[in-house]
């Protein structure tokens, strides 16, 4: 009898939630966009794919078009499957499409203070203003070029001595760059650094908490009031643990920069530049949480130079070079021609490295880090192409689908830098940055940081390393170009062989690592 009552209680709760949402979303106007037929109460919950949803959404595009509607327990969910619809809604009407869904788990943890989750309004505008003034142009980011080059050279040295763990060294490189740009913190040269490990923990916690459906409280908000000691509330204890770590790191990272500023030894960074002139408590609060957002870089649409996101893109670079040796050879020939073999690439060489730049661009398109971007919420009723779009609807842009649309990018599964190079017989295809960094007022203000991070590592790696297929039992192993089915998607683990191109290249790596000590810009 007790079990029966529990089942009935759950059924009544589900029905009540469905009914309240139906009442709250009562509408007038034209029809909703097409999509799978919903079931009573639960709607299209069972239709939502759990693995590689972006590929399923592409299949839906063939059946229902570029804007697909789903009913999720009475919540309207719209899947955008084309660049045109994304631009028409999220770009051209960004003033009403720039809010975020309220995630109870994110609010409990404290992520609602950060750029990805903060509600649309004055708080978001203030955080974006600070980011734009500090890192929003190429000239501003160029100030950090010597620091990024120094970290790239240290990376080359680590990989030369430990090529099996190249991906781990990529993580160290991207984390080091973001600590520098966020807080002016320089990691230990050997890569073993407590602050770096704490940053990694924050990013991993963010990826866990941001995963759709990770916590039931986001579906049933009333559960946020369940105490942590309650039986079955393991999720609440985990959320509290993430919250504790996040707040501790945010305060400690901020205090590090403040201490350096007080002693006159601070390296210019996002936090130091925004803490000048004795800011108010409200301004310091915004700086503290925006710096945390920048450090994480784990949010696909934010993509601020991208700890997790650059890490994924750079792993994809090594995968592409393993699968396409002819592309690697062509890029190395360009570097040898432009730079020669007596020094490593710098940012000053970038304008002359056309093919290397095309590789960086194709990496963004080929394996997008955030295949589904991040959700946008409509703040008032709207209409598009004859369809009614109710206030409160959640919109998800299928970035993977847009970047693999064969009408925009012929043979989209193929890694082809040539598609972005202008010749007498070739018109460059559309730059993927118009999609991969997000849309509208929630799009990435850190595009130039992302570009710089990827370029310097790709150029330096090509200059001194040969990346080849791993040979096992006398047979070369060709890895598959696959990526994980997660919110932040990475290439599947793969094997390759990385060696210096020559004795001269090895000597160059040693020399650069030993002698390169760039000037730092002090506050």
Kindly report, residue by residue over 410-448, the tens digit of the pLDDT.
Answer: 999 999 999 999 988 889 999 998 888 778 755 555 678
Indicate the pLDDT class of residue 22, thresholds 50, 70 and 90.
low
pLDDT at res. 10: 44
Q: Which of 453, 495, 426, 287 is nearest to 369 (CA)?
A: 453
pLDDT of 213: 62
Pairing assessment for the beta strands 75-80 and 394-397 based on DSSP bridges: parallel
**Per-residue pLDDT tens digits for 358-392:** 999 999 999 998 898 888 999 999 999 999 999 99
Beta bridge partners of 480: none
| Residue 154 pLDDT greater than 80, yes or no | yes
Contacts of 135 (CB under 8 A, 6+ apart): 141, 181, 270, 294, 304, 305, 445, 446, 448, 449
Which of helix, strand or coil describes residue 164? helix
* Domains located in the chain, CATH noted: 16-515 (1.10.630.10)
Of all residues in the chain, the percent with pLDDT exceeding 70 is 88
pLDDT band at 69 (very low <50, low <70, confident <90, very high): very high
According to the model, what pLDDT value does residue 211 have? 63
- Evaluate if residue 335 carries a pLDDT over 60: yes
Mean pLDDT of 104-128: 80
Average pLDDT of the residues of the chain: 86
164-193 pLDDT, tens digit each: 999 999 989 988 888 888 899 988 877 788
Please, which pLDDT band fits residue 460 given cuts at 50, 70 and 90?
A: very high
Name the residue with higher pLDDT: 50 or 219: 50
pLDDT at 11 over 70: no
How would residue 314 be classed by pLDDT, with cut points 50, 70 and 90? Answer: very high
Q: Higher confidence at residue 316 or residue 113?
A: 316
Other beta carbons within 10 Å of 383:
10
Q: Flag whether pLDDT at 477 surpasses 90.
A: yes
User: Edge to edge, what strands does the sheet with 465-472 contain?
Assistant: 475-477, 465-472, 496-500
Q: Does residue 97 contact residue 90 with C-beta atoms inside 8 Å?
A: yes
What confidence category does residue 28 fall into, taking pLDDT thresholds of 50, 70 and 90?
A: low
pTM for the full predicted model: 0.86
Is the pLDDT assigned to residue 138 strictly greater than 70?
A: yes
The pLDDT of residue 120 is: 74
Distances (CA, A) of 8 to 4, 41, 435, 521: 6, 14, 46, 65
- Among 111-115, 297-301, 379-383, 423-427, the minimum mean pLDDT is found in 297-301
Q: Quick one: pLDDT at residue 29?
A: 67
Ranking 156-170, 202-216, 450-464 by mean pLDDT, the lowest is 202-216
**Radius of gyration of the chain from its Cα atoms, rounded to whole angstroms:** 24
Instruction: For the beta carbon of residue 155, count every other beta carbon within 10 angstroms.
Output: 26
- pLDDT per residue as tens digits for the range 201-220: 877 777 677 665 678 887 78
The total number of residues written for the chain in this structure: 523
């Amino acid at each position: 009898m007790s079990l029966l009552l529990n089942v009935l209680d759950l059924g009544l709760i589900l029905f009540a939630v469905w009914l309240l949402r139906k009442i709250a979303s009562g509408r007038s106007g034209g029809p909703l966009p097409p999509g799978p037929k919903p079931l009573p109460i639960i709607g299209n919950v069972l239709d939502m794919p759990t693995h590689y949803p972006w590929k399923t959404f592409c299949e839906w595009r063939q059946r229902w078009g570029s804007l697909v509607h789903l009913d999720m327990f009475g919540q309207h969910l719209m899947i955008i499957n084309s660049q045109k619809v994304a631009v028409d809604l999220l770009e051209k009407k960004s003033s009403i499409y720039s809010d975020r869904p309220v995630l109870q788990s994110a609010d409990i943890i404290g992520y609602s203070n950060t750029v990805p989750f903060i509600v649309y309004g004055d708080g978001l505008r203030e955080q974006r203003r600070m980011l734009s003034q500090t890192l929003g142009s190429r000239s501003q980011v160029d100030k950090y070029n010597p620091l990024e080059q120094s970290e790239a050279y240290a990376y080359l040295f680590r990989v030369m001595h430990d090529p099996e763990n190249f991906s781990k060294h990529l993580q160290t490189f991207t984390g080091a760059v973001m600590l520098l740009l966020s807080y002016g913190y320089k990691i230990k040269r050997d890569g073993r650094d407590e602050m770096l490990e704490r940053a990694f923990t924050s990013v991993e916690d963010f990826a866990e908490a941001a995963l759709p459906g990770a916590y039931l409280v986001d579906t049933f908000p009333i559960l946020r009031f369940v105490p942590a000691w309650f039986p079955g509330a393991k999720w609440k204890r985990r959320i509290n643990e993430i919250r504790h770590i996040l707040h501790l790191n945010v305060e400690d990272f901020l205090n590090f920069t403040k201490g350096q500023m007080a002693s006159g030894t601070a390296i210019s960074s996002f936090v130091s530049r925004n803490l000048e002139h004795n800011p108010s408590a409200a301004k310091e609060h915004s700086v503290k949480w925006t710096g945390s957002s920048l450090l994480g870089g784990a949010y696909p649409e934010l993509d601020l130079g991208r700890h997790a996101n650059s890490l994924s893109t750079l792993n994809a670079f090594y995968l592409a070079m393993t699968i396409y040796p002819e592309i690697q050879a062509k890029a190395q020939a360009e570097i040898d021609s432009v730079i020669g073999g007596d020094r490593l690439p710098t940012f000053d060489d970038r304008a002359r490295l056309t093919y290397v730049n095309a590789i960086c661009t194709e990496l963004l398109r080929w394996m997008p880090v955030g295949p589904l971007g991040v959700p946008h919420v409509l703040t008032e009723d709207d209409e598009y192409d004859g369809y009614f779009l109710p206030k409160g609807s959640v919109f998800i842009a299928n970035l993977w689908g847009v970047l693999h649309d064969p009408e925009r990018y012929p043979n989209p599964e193929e890694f082809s830098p040539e598609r972005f190079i202008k010749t007498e017989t070739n018109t460059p295809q559309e730059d993927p940055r118009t999609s991969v960094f997000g849309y509208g007022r929630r799009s990435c203000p850190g595009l130039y940081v992302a570009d710089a991070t990827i370029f310097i590592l790709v150029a330096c790696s090509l200059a001194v390393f040969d990346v080849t297929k791993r040979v096992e039992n006398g047979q070369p192993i060709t890895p598959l170009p696959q990526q994980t089915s997660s919110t932040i998607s990475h290439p599947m683990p793969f094997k390759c062989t990385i060696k210096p191109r020559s004795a001269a290249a090895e000597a160059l790596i040693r020399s650069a690592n030993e002698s390169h000590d760039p000037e730092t810009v002090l506050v």
